[in-house]
Every structure is written in structure tokens, then in C-alpha cells.
Amino acid sequence: MSPDGQSKILEGGKLSPIPTERQDTLMPPDPNVRIGLGLIARTFLGIGFASFSLAALGEAREWMTNKRRWFTNDEYMQGLGLAQLMPGAPTVNLTSYLGYRLRGLPGAAVATICFLTPCFLLMLLLSHLYLKYGEMPVVSGLFRGLGALVVGLVLNTILNLLRSGTKTIFKGLMAFAGFAMVFWFKMGVTRILLIAGSTSLVMVLLTHRFSALATWTGSWNELWKKGTVSAGEAIGQSGPQQVTSDKVKKTKGRCTAPIDDPDYVSACSRLPLCLQWRKSIVLVICLSLFLAVDLLLINLRPELMQMGSRFLRIGALVFGSGYAMLPFIQDTVVNRFNWLTDQQFAVALALSLITPGPVTIIGTFIGYKVAGVIGALVGTVNMYFPAWAMTAMVADPYTQAGRVGYVKEVLGGIVAAFIGTLVVVLIKLAGDTLVDIPAISMAAAAFLLRRFAKIETVWIVLGGALVSLVLFR
């Protein structure tokens, strides 16, 4: 036993501390050990079961940064930024990016498929029951109750994102600007991207040119501490100052950050990024083969070809969110091809809101109505395939660019602006759902249970479903 009370062993003629359980826990992941596809599948399957609407962003963040600890908070927020920049549903885009960063193209495929499997199977079952037996009174009650739960869960998600994505004064202002651009000025995602990106770039350049502007890129805590220190000096008081840092302390490759520090050295940061032509060519070939099989399948039946090509176009060209895709989907399936009536589309939308996963899972209902199970598969795959392919193509260069200091700061401003736009979505959801006291109570209960009691989302949803059947019969 050493004088300091720590057990030691003889190693190379020197005394070395015996590794304790906590030290092993704090060791950074071995870069040569890959995360198994089975573990990725189980993880994203669990996320898919418990993810409703935009609450999926919070569920994924909880699993990636806290439970599995595969990503740091900054890495997760960087992925969220790319998810917003790609067309289609941001939750699916984020899943594809996270899976790709963990295990490349196989990881992206496994993560996305497992994330969508629960909502696909449940929507397939509900579609069959509705189209076979007609009206489903239970859906109305579940829609009201689970819709209220979603509002509470999304509120908790947005608060977490605001806390982690707007740590600096400038990012806080960018979040407010993003909210204003959508809520008051009704801007689209392209304009928001241009304005947020250019503003962030100008701010980064000015900050590095004029040190007096550094306060605007400092954290709120630093601003508060400066004010506190200034006040203490003004009255002649002084005391020990605490030095803080957002970076992880590393000594000889060992992570010495506390176990509850979200900014530790993650498994993701240990994975190499290789921009090789061979890898790019293989990726393009795989995507081309997949697309060829899809096109061959949809050419078997005229309605499959029409639906598949339309959904591919919508999935590739509509930016913003899954909700932004709904008007284009409705125009295609109701007005142009008359596959669904207005009433059937309303039922399909309600079903997509009471099932886990993105709202664009409505494509499964439409596909099943048009051509059965094969149609459901074609509708679902073609809705998400374009954005999945784009995300896989740009993930490596995007991540490498994000490791450059200036680029990382610019991306941080863009992400903050997009977080502000989520508040507008929350307001719309709340306005459509919280129409009476029971709904408001359920939303508040879901928020409190998730934020303060730390109850798992899946249990909140299951309990809320039972309560909905009683309250909204």
C-alpha cells in the first residue's frame, strides 16, 4: 500500500496504480474495437419504439450521449444540423447519420431500418384494421390523448436542445432569429439556411478579428461570472475563483472527465474518417443497385410506379420537416391520383400521429391502400431512401469539415437557428391538440414525468394510452 492510501503494482520497475472500476469506466473506447451491428440494431429499435414525432430527437440524444455514450453532445448537435439540412424527415436523417458515423454504410442501413420498423409494423396493422373494418372509434381517443403526450415530450426535447445548443449568447440570439423567421416572416428552410449561415460566418470572422466581440461567443455562465466578479471587485471582495472548461481533460490518452460529464471522449470521436475514392465508388455502386431493384419493383404495376416515383420525388426535394412534406403528399394521393379520399387521408394522418416514428410514416398507409403489403414497402422505402442516400454520401466530408474550428462555429449557429424553428412546430402541435383541460393535464403530466421523474418515454406513452382510452371514450 502506498503512502497516499492507493494500491499499487510493480510494472517495469515502477509502482503503478491498480486500475479501479471507475478508472476503467473512464477509459476512452479502443479505436480498434468496432461497435457491433447487433448492438446498433437493438439501440435504434428501442429508440424507434419510444419516439413520437419530434420527441425522437430527445430520445436519440438520451441514448447516444447518456446511455450508450457513443457521441458527445457537440457531435450529436452536429448530426442534428446535417439532419435539418437534408430533405425529408429530420428524425430519420439524424438516425442515418448516427448509424453511419458508428459503422459506415451498414450502420446507417441497420440504424434506419430498426428505427422505422416499429412504426412501420404498427401502421401496417392499423391500416389493415381500418381498411377492413371501417371506422375505428378507439383511434379518436388515442389521437387526442397521445397527441397531448407528444406535446409534453416535444417540449422537454426542445428545452434540452436549447440548453445544449445555445450555450453562447450568439447562439441564443440565432435560436430566437430562427423562431422569428418562421413564426413571423414565414420563411422557408432555404432562406433560413442562407441567413443563419451567412450571419454565423460573419460573426465568426469578426470575433477572430476583433477580440472585443468575444463576449458574444462566450457562454451565458461566463457572462454571469464576469458580472459577479466585477460586482465583487467593486465592493472590495475577493474569493477563490473556479476555473471551468467545456473541454474534456485527457492525460496520456486517458479521459479524466467525470462520468456524468456529457463532453467526454466518445466512441464516435475515436472512429477514423477516411475520404477515399474506393469507399465513395463502393457507396455509389451500392446505392445504384438498391435504386435499380426499387425501380424494377415499382415497374411491375402501374400504380406502384406512379406512387414510387412520386414518393421518391417528394423525399428528395422537400426540405424542412416531415410536416412540410404533408401538403405535397396530400396533393398527390388525394387530388391527382384519387388513391385516398379527404376523410381517409385525415384518418391516415391521425394514425401516423399515434404511432411512434415520423409523421411521414403515413406513406405506409397510402402504399397499403394502393397495393397491399408490397405497396406499403414501396411507399415507405421510397419516402426515406433519397434522404438516406444523400446523408450517407455527405456524412464523411460534413464531419471532417465540422472538426475545423471556424466551420464548427458556423454550423453551431445554423443548428441554433433550426432549434428555434422547432418552437414553431411545438406551438402548432399545442394549438391543434391542447383543446381542453384533460389534454392540457396529460401534456403537463408527460412533461413533468419525463423531465423531473426521469420516467422512460415508452412507459409514459403506454400509460398515457391507457388513460386516453378512459378519458376520451
For residue 252, the 8-state DSSP code is T
- Picking from 286, 337, 268, the residue whose alpha carbon sits closest to that of residue 309 is 337
**pLDDT (0 to 100) of residue 377:** 92
**Block mean pLDDT (10 aa), the chain, length 473:** 44 42 37 79 92 82 90 90 87 94 91 95 90 72 79 87 86 91 83 88 84 63 51 43 41 38 48 57 74 72 82 81 79 87 82 84 93 90 90 87 77 85 84 87 92 87 86 76
| Rounded Cα gap, residues 190 and 337, in angstroms | 29
Joined together, the cell numbers standing for residue 466 give 391507457
Please check whether residue 368 is in contact with residue 348, taking contact to mean a CB–CB distance below 8 angstroms.
Answer: no
Q: What is the pLDDT of residues 124-179, one digit of tens each?
A: 998 988 888 766 667 667 777 888 888 888 898 889 888 888 888 888 999 999 89
Rounded to the nearest 10 degrees, the angle between the axes of helix 457-471 and helix 37-50 is 30
Q: What is the pTM of this model?
A: 0.73
What was the pLDDT predicted at 23?
Answer: 35
CA atoms within 13 A on the CB side of 249: 7
| Long-range Cβ pairs for the range 295-304 (8 Å, 24+) | 297/374, 297/378, 298/378, 298/382, 301/371, 303/339, 303/370, 303/371, 303/375, 304/370, 304/371, 304/374, 304/375, 304/378
Distance CA 6, CA 189 (A): 57
Measured N-to-C along each axis, helices 169-183 and 189-209 cross at an angle, to the nearest 10 degrees, of 160
Half-sphere exposure of 277 (CA within 13 A, CB side): 0
**Amino acid (one-letter) located at 148:** A
Phi-psi category of residue 88: left, alpha or beta, with phi > 0 → left and psi -120 to 50 → alpha: left
- Torsion from C-alpha of 355, 360, 366, 367, nearest 10 degrees: -100
What's the confidence (pLDDT) of residue 224?
A: 52
CB-count burial class (<10 Å; 0-12, 13-18, 19+) for 342? exposed
Cα–Cα distance measured from residue 36 to residue 48, given in angstroms and rounded to the nearest whole number:
18
SS3 content of the chain, % helix, strand, coil (to 5): 75, 5, 25
Q: What cell does 326 get?
A: 404533408
In 3D space, the residue among 116, 36, 102 whose CA is nearest the CA of residue 70 turns out to be 102
Q: Domain residues of the chain, as ranges? A: 37-167+264-403+435-471
Report the pLDDT value the prediction gives residue 219, as an integer from 0 to 100: 57
Amino acid at 345: F
